Chains A and B, each alone.
Chain A
Amino acid sequence: MTALQAPPAGDAATAGQVARRRWQRSRGVLVALLALAVVGVLLALMRPRTGSEYLDPDSPGQQGSRALAEITRRHGTPVTVVHSASAAAERLRAQPDAVLVVVRSERLVPADLTALRGAPGDRLLITPSGETLKALAPGVEAAGSAWSTPEPGCTLPAAAYAGSADFLEATTYTAPGQATKCYPTTGGAGLVQLPVDGATVTVLGATRPLTNEHLAERGNAALAMNLIEARPNAVWLMPDLPSPGSGGQKSFGELVPFGVKLAVLQIVIAVALVALWRSRRLGPVVVEPLPVIVRSAEAVEGRARLYRSRRAADRAAEALRAGALERLTGLLGMPRTAASDPAMAAEIVAAIAAHTGREQAEIGAALYGPPPVDDAGLVLLVGVLDDLERLVRSS
């Protein structure tokens, strides 16, 4: 209960103590936030940069694959680029001797995979997604990933002629016994070829051999071309992003494991318990009737504002003159009633003139003259009255 552990209000803490207490209270949260930021940055750095051009046979960019497609065409193997699974299946039915190159297979929805499975011809799957693998290369499973520049280590002509390739990072696969495995690493093989339903399915776990940027490195170009030119025709499937709601997508709820759902429910219960803990007060709120706070001078201030808003220079001047007269007669030793007695006016003015040396007309105008008509006149009048008072006081 932080509220209860707070020091008593009477203890005056220095700024340093307050700062230290705040630091101690918040450092856990700060460390957690910092850790979160570091993890986020690391994940962002590790993520492969894949743009829309990635492995696109029409793209001349570094990550595109136009070079490979062009070279293959020049070697006499026509490459048809299609952007949807249905178009690919149609094309394959027209050219059953073609090899289907599938890149960016994560964009394929289950319906697409079904359409592809029904089509004839060989397959070349470049880093296929788990579902694609399951549908088009049954028995092959992703084992892990390896960082290496591997040697073929197999009898597959396409790989054996190409020699060592530059994969940088490759997904490795395990496959059933009848499959040919190339570029082996400890966990599996980077290239797997196996017969499925009478056709040949090749799974390549690396994308570097296809990109414009790295095509020329080591045996990359040879490997890629050998794999594609194994058949007289090639259909290159570069799927477009599936349109939303194109079917077959699982809802978020279906994707979340049951245990996580239960855990979320339990955390809701935990939050409710914490809310109960925090909401229970240690005793009731204590109320107390407070004294009314009325400033004594409020009425006087109110009157001042009224004078101001009405621009009542005449009334204000009357009050100021009366006050000044009271003090002046007191200073001059005149009777108390003199200040408010108009008959005494001449006598008072004469006495003040004698003390100050000012003109009687001027003094008479200041004390008994017509009232000022505006604020400026009032301020001037106050100045004159103050002068008179000061002079009489000092005389």
Chain B
Amino acid sequence: MALTGRTGLLAVLGAVVLVLVPSWWTLLAVDGTVIALVAADLTLAGNVRRLRLHRSGDTNVRLGEEATVSLIVENPGPRRLRARLRDAWSPSAGASPRSAAVTIPPGERRHVETRLVPTRRGDRAPVTVTVRSYGPLGLAARQLNRSAPWTVRVLPAFPSRRHLPAKLARLRELTGQHVALIRGQGTEFDSLREYVDGDDVRSIDWRATARRSDVVVRTWRPERDRRIYLVLDTGRTAAGRVGDIPRLDCSMDAALLLGALAARAGDRVDLLAYDRRVRTRVEGAARTELLTAMVRAMAPLEPELIESDAAGMVSALLSRVRQRCLVVLLTDLNATAIEEGLLPLLPQLTAKHLVLVAAVSDPRVTEMATSRGDAAAVYDAAAAERARAERRRVTAELRKYGVEVVDAPPDEIAPALADAYLSLKAAGRL
């Protein structure tokens, strides 16, 4: 039950009556009338309990874009429903309008649209639908909370997809639309064909030439069907904010660009998110479906404020991969976390696989390192230099194990990682 401002106004008008006719009976009559009218209004208000609520609309939205979800309200009751309806979503869903006025004649239905502009990644669900159904006099209303479940998955924004055309162009340069004649690194045998003028004589396959009357050359193409395993570290280092977004979101962005690129290059991409347990896993997705699958798997990931279990991560990885693959570990070059966690386990990984560590560096540290002026600024610079020295030391130690390291600020990490992948591919190290 809820009252409206009209009830208060009615009671104030009653006060005027009391000044004119002062008696206790008048007071009783005035307030009795107010109560009776409120009761009548409540009785005649449209029934909320019997309303049928359904939903339709978007189920996926990229972060930063707008989704629309409709609430369909059906009034099966015999009375007209005049109501204010609030479709309450969690604050980060960015739902608007906050409430809407609806009038539904008996037996009819109405759509109430809610626009969502989510401010965070993850699954967003409506909490409750509150309906306040007013009586014909507008003095009182029945109010009830109903539920109408729905889920909108807010996907990562993937802002680095703007780099994809440039990287694909580089990839095409690498593979060539035509097969190469020169055997370079990172190529595999493609086919034999007849020699034509201009071909490199070094590519002549003498054995095949001897079997046939013509001179035959070998052709080569870049290797395909390599396996790439993307590992997202969702532990405490992923929670730190670089610029204004968590490190995890930067890592996801880089992983998505690399995934999109590798799928187009004909490689197989798998994804694992791990801190102390497997948070999500995408394996064996078809090339055309890969990006969708990755984005959907990443959407609900949140960094955990716990130290990642490197040993668990390595064993979770090794138990799934048999053939050689490129392991791309998206984490932070945090000295203690790497030295105590990952370094001792690296030989297991590098024995069979190629490991690439991609880390997002903090532009704030770079900014601090160049701060000059007074003593405070110089101390800032000294602390930043020390942090960078530690990072360099960790990088050097990782490289000693033959690990590739990509360390770049948030807006450059995705293209830098894509470039590193393309270089590895060009060098045939996959």
Contacts and interface: CB of A to CB of B under 8 A. Distances in A.
Interface string A321-351: 0110010000000001000000000000000
Contact of A316 (B20, B94, B379): B379
A323 B19 contact: no
Contacts of A294: 239-241
Contact of A379 (B99, B374, B383): B374
A315 interface: yes
A297 interface: yes
Contacts of B376: 304, 308
B22 A258 contact: yes
A316 B378 contact: yes
Interface stretch (A119-127, A160-168, A279-287): A279-287
Contacts of A316: 378-379, 382-383
Interface stretch (B2-10, B41-49, B196-204, B255-263): B2-10
A125 to B, nearest CB: 34
A252 interface: no
A262 B26 contact: yes
Contacts of B24: 262
A260 interface: yes
B383 A270 contact: no
A214 B180 CA distance: 126
Contacts of A198: none
A59 to B, nearest CB: 43
A277 B353 CA distance: 68
Contacts of B364: 295-297, 300
A11 B115 CA distance: 12
A273 interface: yes
A4 interface: yes
Nearest to A281: B130
Nearest to A377: B375
Contacts of A41: none
A303 B383 contact: yes
B379 A286 contact: no
Interface in A18-40: none
A286 B95 CA distance: 12
Contact of B382 (A260, A263, A307): A307
A9 interface: yes
A359 interface: no
A64 to B, nearest CB: 42
Given A300-B365, A300-B387, A293 B241 contact: yes
A301 B383 contact: yes
A115 B5 CA distance: 56
Contacts of A11: 96
A288 B240 CA distance: 20
A382 B16 contact: no
B27 A266 contact: yes
Given A4-B99, A280-B3, A295-B241, A322 B8 contact: no
A354 interface: no
Interface in A223-274: 257-260, 262-267, 269-271, 273-274
Contact of A270 (B11, B303, B384): B11
Given A259-B18, A303-B386, A296 B240 contact: yes
A319 B379 CA distance: 10
Interface string B231-275: 000000001111000110000000000000000000000000000
Contact of A319 (B96, B115, B385): B385
B98 A308 contact: no
Contacts of B27: 262, 265-266
Given A262-B18, A319-B383, A319-B389, 15 more contacts: A8-B98, A266-B14, A277-B3, A282-B84, A284-B130, A284-B145, A291-B303, A307-B379, A319-B382, A320-B385, A323-B388, A326-B389, A379-B374, A382-B372, A382-B378
13 contacts: A9-B96, A260-B22, A262-B18, A266-B12, A273-B7, A284-B127, A288-B90, A294-B240, A317-B382, A322-B385, A323-B385, A378-B379, A382-B378
Q: Nearest 7 pairs between A and B by C-beta? A: A259-B22, A283-B130, A296-B240, A316-B382, A270-B11, A8-B96, A375-B375
